[in-house]
Amino acid sequence: MHDLIIIGGGPAGVAAGVYAARKKLKTLILAESLNGQSSVSPEIQNWIGEITISGVDLAKKLESHLRSYESDNFVIKTKEQVSAIKTKAEGFEVVSTGGVYLAKTVLIAAGANRRKLTIKGAAEFEQKGVTYCASCDGPMFAGQKVAVIGGGNAGFCSAAQLLAYCDSVTLLESAALLRAERVTVDSLSANPKFKILLNVELLEIKGDKFVTGLIYRDKETGEENELPVTGIFVEIGFVPSTEAFRDLVEMTDCNAIKIDHRTGQTSREGIWAAGDCTDTFYHQNNIAAGDAVKAVEDIYNYLQKKR
Ligand SMILES: Cc1cc2nc3c(=O)[nH]c(=O)nc-3n(C[C@H](O)[C@H](O)[C@H](O)COP(=O)(O)OP(=O)(O)OC[C@H]3O[C@@H](n4cnc5c(N)ncnc54)[C@H](O)[C@@H]3O)c2cc1C
């Protein structure tokens, strides 16, 4: 019986692990990998304590900090995908690909994944022109015509990066209005290389070995057009990785785990959650790590009271 099982190996899972180890909690970390979402980023400039660091190096530093506590009392298991948590008399049974594990408390730090485009050609051309990370893949499209899908802040942020080196950037939004902040929209709209298409339905991604174009319908006129682009940058939001916990804890309509933001507690006693899998407003490495620390402090107090 563990005191705590932590699900996830991103910044939230790692930060929780470090605090749990230092509090001498009998802890098991179950994670598909010890990699946060930003590990694909070439440069992170807001991880406190590092002026600039690559995503890969940050992930390595987090991993080595976590592994420095490895012992019989503090076990890290990777390549584990948790599929369910069951309530038992003594605590919880966590069902994972590597086995079934018992714990008095559980912290879910399973993060999130990019929402994928599902139109024809999107899966076929992923990483062959269709990408989900402008900061990672953008420079490969220097001097080319590209499209950004999504008219929120993330879409405009990607467009701003791409405008620095692409020949042209066309942003497509399915709604008639943009969701991004006005000031951001105005600053980009002045750029002659930038174009916005509102109220469009995406139909198909065309290509040979790589993307050659994007077919869309103008919802107002019904007219179909092909946009000749070699890169398509998708910014249509995130999906919390919470499928396995759906019937266990209360969630928002977007499948984010509802938590008490003072403590990280979920709707079910004995289960906490932290980071991008929760209903927190802001998705950042420092926030995920800090919220996980807060949760472990609360878990520790909870376990002390139970003893
Ligand atoms: C391209 C990109 C660049 C970014 N750049 C920055 C930046 O510069 N600065 C910044 O502050 N933030 C940045 N972010 C946001 C930041 O990466 C996230 O806010 C942060 O990673 C959230 O941490 P997390 O631990 O909650 O989740 P994640 O990083 O998503 O980690 C989740 C972990 O849970 C594991 N997992 C998921 N489901 C299961 C399961 N069922 N069983 C077991 N394990 C599971 C995953 O393998 C992973 O280890 C960026 C994000 C992206 C996508």
**% the chain with pLDDT above 90:** 82
Q: Which atom of ligand 1 is nearest to 40's Cα?
A: 1
Angstrom distance (rounded) from CA 277 to CA 13: 11
Q: How many domains does the chain have?
A: 2
Tally the residues of the chain. Answer: 307
Shortest-distance Cα residue to atom 12 of ligand 1: 284
Which 8-state DSSP code applies to residue 44? B
Is there a domain that residue 122 lies in?
Answer: no
Shortest-distance Cα residue to atom 44 of ligand 1: 31
pLDDT per residue as tens digits for the range 78-113: 999 999 999 998 899 999 999 999 999 999 999 999
pLDDT per residue as tens digits for the range 136-185: 788 899 999 999 999 988 899 899 999 999 999 999 999 999 988 888 89
CATH number of the domain that 185 lies in?
Answer: 3.50.50.60
pLDDT per residue as tens digits for the range 185-226: 998 999 999 999 999 999 999 999 999 999 999 999 999 999
Mean pLDDT over all residues of the chain? Answer: 94
Residues 21, 74, single domain; the answer is yes
Residues 176, 200, single domain; the answer is yes
In testing the pocket of ligand 1, which one of 6, 29, 38 has its CB within 8 Å of the most ligand atoms? 38
- pLDDT of the residue at 181: 82
Backbone angles phi, psi at 140, to 5 degrees: -70, -15
- pLDDT of the residue at 50: 94
Residues 220, 269, single domain; the answer is no
Shortest-distance Cα residue to atom 29 of ligand 1: 36
Range of the domain at 93: 2-113+238-306
Angstrom distance (rounded) from CA 5 to CA 7: 6
Neighbours of 162 (CB within 10 A): 28
- pLDDT of the residue at 306: 86
Residues 71, 174, single domain; the answer is no
Residues 258, 198, single domain; the answer is no
Read off the pTM. 0.83
Residues 278, 220, single domain; the answer is no
Residue 43 has pLDDT above 80, yes or no: no
Shortest-distance Cα residue to atom 6 of ligand 1: 38
Which 8-state DSSP code applies to residue 256? P
Shortest-distance Cα residue to atom 8 of ligand 1: 44
Question: From residue 16, how far is each of 21, 73, 178, 263, 269 by CA, in Å?
Answer: 9, 15, 37, 13, 18
pLDDT per residue as tens digits for the range 245-277: 999 999 998 899 999 999 999 999 999 999 999
Quickly state the pLDDT bin for 291 (edges 50, 70, 90): very high
Q: Which atom of ligand 1 is nearest to 244's Cα?
A: 41
Residues 9, 156, single domain; the answer is no
In testing the pocket of ligand 1, which one of 132, 257, 285 has its CB within 8 Å of the most ligand atoms? 285
pLDDT per residue as tens digits for the range 221-230: 999 999 999 9
Centroid of ligand 1 to alpha carbon of 38 (angstroms): 6
Shortest-distance Cα residue to atom 51 of ligand 1: 38
Residue 135 has pLDDT above 80, yes or no: no
* Least trusted range by pLDDT, from 51-60, 210-219, 287-296: 51-60
Is there a domain that residue 184 lies in?
Answer: yes
Shortest-distance Cα residue to atom 30 of ligand 1: 111
Is there a domain that residue 119 lies in?
Answer: no
- pLDDT of the residue at 270: 97
Q: Which atom of ligand 1 is nearest to 96's Cα?
A: 42
In testing the pocket of ligand 1, which one of 33, 47, 57, 241 has its CB within 8 Å of the most ligand atoms? 241
